Amino acid sequence: MEPLRVDAARSRGDAIDLMLPLWRALVVFRAITWGFACFGVWSRWDGIHRPSGAVVQLAVMGGWTVIVSIGYSRHWGRRNTRLAFADLVVTVGCMFLTLLAQPLLDIRAGASVLTSVWAAGPVLALGISRGRDGGLLGAATISLALLSLRGVDNASKVLSNVQLLLVAGLVVGYAATAMRRATSRLREAIAAESATAERLRLSRSIHDGVLQVLAQVQRRGHAIGGEAVELAKLAAEQEVALRTLMATRPVTGDRGRIDLCMLLLPLATPRVDVVVPAETVLLPTAKATELVAVVKEALSNVSKHAGPEARAWVVVEDLGTDVLLSIRDDGVGTTADRLEVDRADGHLGVSQSIRGRIADLGGTVSVRTAPGEGTEWEMKVSKA
């Protein structure tokens, strides 16, 4: 398959649906068990009270098998759930069609219910479409129909069948749920892979074109001097912005968690470097958002107080169960006493926006600073 066709298939989700094999297996199960039911009727033909009624029942079962096989094969998503419930109703009806072939007294005396194992079809269908609860619902419904035909007095004789139905619904339901989650994660992984591949393609084009032009504008602007220097600075800012955009990873999330690195990378400027691990650092979305606010406040302090030529570095370290976030600058620095005085004077950036937020997250924060040596913040929070 050509790459473009692969991408098109992935975008439609056709190539990453792990549920299709389960539905196809159900179609095969339906066809085979209908054949078993036919063989059962043929082998007990002489013992059937009304053979014509058995033929009618098998015909109805065969027609419905064709209908659900076509429906399940098309894999209509939610429509398959509705079809599974319809399958349950029709299957229960087919079970009671045994009364056309055998009187109720004969069935309660030990005559077979002619649907046999074919009746387990909707149990599997509901397990696939609705998970564990759907499978158990289907098993309970078929079991009640079987008990109503056999009679309460014969409940012990059908107990093994009821147990098999419940186990089948439970196991298939759990398996389908696991497959559905795997499908969702696979789709996310493929989407991220496709986004990364497209970003790399665009990055090559930008690097070979726009970035080269911006670099040339910077060199020429500084060489010419005067007002051209301002153009050189603007070109430098745009170059950093483009490089940051090229380096930014696609959004990565899992059950309310998000990649902290993806949120921090756009904060890079010509005077701010953001250094992150190669792998994602997943945090709860609210916690990651608060950490970004802390970093912005710290960088705002650098811009206001560290000096016009100060540079800053934001570093993220993944410690396994914790994440360590460092913000360091090479500005004029200050003293710990001065920070305490600022807090007492009502300057709340340090005490509330930084220390307060980290305390609310259950983390720790420390600051090292000295006149002429810049300032470094270290914050550690749990990834949970």
Asked whether the beta carbons of 157 and 51 are under 8 A apart, the reply is no
- Three-state DSSP class for 315? strand
Say how far apart CA 241 and CA 274 lie, in whole Å.
12
Under DSSP, is residue 384 helix (H, G, I), strand (E, B) or coil? coil
- The DSSP result for 225-289, as a single string, is -TTHHHHHHHHHHHHHHHHHHHHPPPP-BSSSEEEHHHHHGGG-BTTEEEE--SS--EEEHHHHH
214 vs 179, more confident: 179
Q: Average of pLDDT values for 339-367?
A: 72
Tell me the pTM: 0.57
**Cα–Cα distance, 63 to 346 (Å, whole number):** 81
Amino acid 215 reads A
Give the pLDDT score at 137.
94
Band of the pLDDT at 9, cuts 50, 70, 90?
Answer: very low
C-alpha–C-alpha distance, residues 165 and 183, integer Å: 26
Round the average pLDDT of the chain to a whole number and report it.
Answer: 82
Mean pLDDT of 267-279: 84
Q: What is the pLDDT of residue 214?
A: 74
Contact of 208 with 244, CB cutoff 8 Å = no
pLDDT, tens digit, 9 for 90 and up, residues 158-201: 888 889 999 999 999 999 888 888 887 787 777 777 776 776 67
Query: Which range has the worst mean pLDDT, 129-133, 219-223, 294-298, 348-352?
Result: 348-352
Both tokens assigned to 159: 């107990």
Q: Which residues of 318-345 are buried (b: 16+ CB within 10 A; e: fewer)?
A: beeeebebbbbbbbebbeeeebeebeee
pLDDT surpasses 80 at 51: yes
Q: Are 100 and 56 spatial neighbours (Cβ–Cβ below 8 Å)?
A: yes
Q: Would the pLDDT of 155 be above 80?
A: no
- Region 21-30: what's the mean pLDDT? 90
pLDDT band for position 62 (cuts 50, 70, 90): very high
pLDDT at 241 (0 to 100): 66
What is the CATH class of 251-384?
alpha beta
**More confident call, 13 vs 77:** 77
Helix (H, G, I), strand (E, B) or coil at 368: strand
Contact 281, 314 (CB under 8 A): no
C-beta separation of 383 from 279 below 8 A: no
